[in-house]
Amino acid sequence: MTYAIRTQMLSKSFAGVKAVNNIDLEVQAGSIYGYIGANGSGKTTTIRMLLGLIKAGSGTIQILDKEIPQSFHLVAPYLGVVPGEIRLYEELTGRETLDYFQGFLKSKATLREKLLADFKLNGKDLNKKVRYFSQGMKQKLLLIQAMQHNPDLLILDEPSERLDPLIQQTLYSYIADFQSRGKTIFFSSHNLAEVEKVCDYIGILKDGRLLVQDKISVLKKRLPRMVKIKFSENINPKDFESDKIMIEGFNNGTLILKVDGPMGTLLNLLKKYNVTDLDIPESSLESFFMGYYRAGENNAQ
């Protein structure tokens, strides 16, 4: 298996407090990895270590098979980065900003014109100084500078912040397009719905520790699901209760169960009854995330 990003036992402390604690990140090449956590959980610190901006306290980092920070210069041209909360050069125009960051690279900004059109930044906008840009326009500019040279790995720190919903959709379609061309996207966010919609892998970070990382589809299968069953006969709800199935409600012949694990046991049980309706909605990532955050690492596992 090839990894675009791989860390082992990565840690960083600030003034004795562990901001990142023994993280083993595994971001597969060609995947969209959502790195999710509450504010202050260590997302940005991890990203800054990946980019060699801050030295890791301990542990190792590999990006595109190169050791970081020693070989960072070898992978840097293949990276596109949107940092969180940076101050762009206000004295430059939008076009000068794009030219400036592209000017350090030998590659060409092959995607720039398409990105400008899709992110709705026209020539008039680009000729304005960045100091006159709105927050949303600055974010678009950052995204375009990150993607204009068609990098192999995109590292995006909360990229949809300050973007309107339409432009968010454009961003998501670009992320999907990059993935379809074999590129990897590492994406930090605290927006669960966004990660669920866009990413195929997820890593959940809490207090500097990576609680879980896996394919979203695999994680979802592990989630307890709420099942709604309508019966045409009288039943005893207690017949369904077990260590993996809990009764959440029973009213007017409709039983609501919380099933933790495979559905096989429940479906076998149901064969004995006259069921008129069965609803098994997919669990949202939000409930999973909140489960980890509320119950804490040990309980959730």
Partner 1 sequence: MLNKSPVSLHHFRRIFKNQKRVIFLVMLLAFLIEFFFTIILSTSTIRQFAETYFKLLPPLVKQMTGFLGEGFVGSQFIAFGYTHPAILFMLTFVSVSIATRYITAEIEGRSIELLALRLLPRYRVVLTPYFFMIVSTALIYFAMAAGSLCGREILDLSNDIEPFVLLKIVVTGMLFFSAIGAIVTLVSAMSSERGSALAWSIGIILSLFVIDAIIRLWEKIEFLKPYSFFNWYQPVDIATGRYDFNTGISVLLILTPFFLILAVITFNKRDL
Q: How far is the CB of 101 from partner 1 (least distance, A)?
A: 6
State in angstroms the smallest separation of the CB of 124 from partner 1. Answer: 22
Our CB check for partner 1 shows the closer of 34 and 80 to be: 80
Q: How many other β-carbons are positioned within 10 Å of the β-carbon of residue 4?
A: 25
Instruction: Please state the closest distance from residue 54 (CB atom) to partner 1, in A.
Output: 4
Smallest distance, Å, CB 38 to partner 1?
21
Half-sphere exposure of 18 (CA within 13 A, CB side): 14
Q: How far apart are CA 85 and CA 57, in angstroms?
A: 24
Q: Where are the beta strands (DSSP E) in 216-253?
A: 225-231, 245-251
Smallest separation, CB 103 to partner 1 (Å): 5
Q: 103 or 123, CB closer to partner 1?
A: 103
| Closer residue to partner 1 (CB): 14 or 164 | 14
| Least Å from the CB of residue 67 to partner 1 | 15
Q: Is 110 helix (H, G, I), strand (E, B) or coil?
A: coil
Q: Are 228 and 254 within 8 A, CB to CB?
A: yes
CA–CA distance, 257 with 225 (Å, rounded to integer): 8
Q: Which is nearer to partner 1, 99 or 207 (CB)?
A: 99
Considering the complex, state which of residue 55 and residue 124 has its C-beta at the smaller distance from partner 1.
55
Give the residues lining the site for partner 1 (CB under 8 A): 48, 51-55, 72-74, 76, 79, 81, 83, 85-89, 91-92, 100-101, 103-105, 145
Q: Which residue has the tokens 């695999």?
A: 218
Closer Cβ to partner 1, 134 or 301, answer by number: 134
Give the CA dihedral 128, 81, 32, 25, nearest 10 degrees.
Answer: -160
Query: CA–CA distance from 33 to each of 2, 49, 145, 170, 233 (Å)?
Result: 14, 17, 21, 18, 47
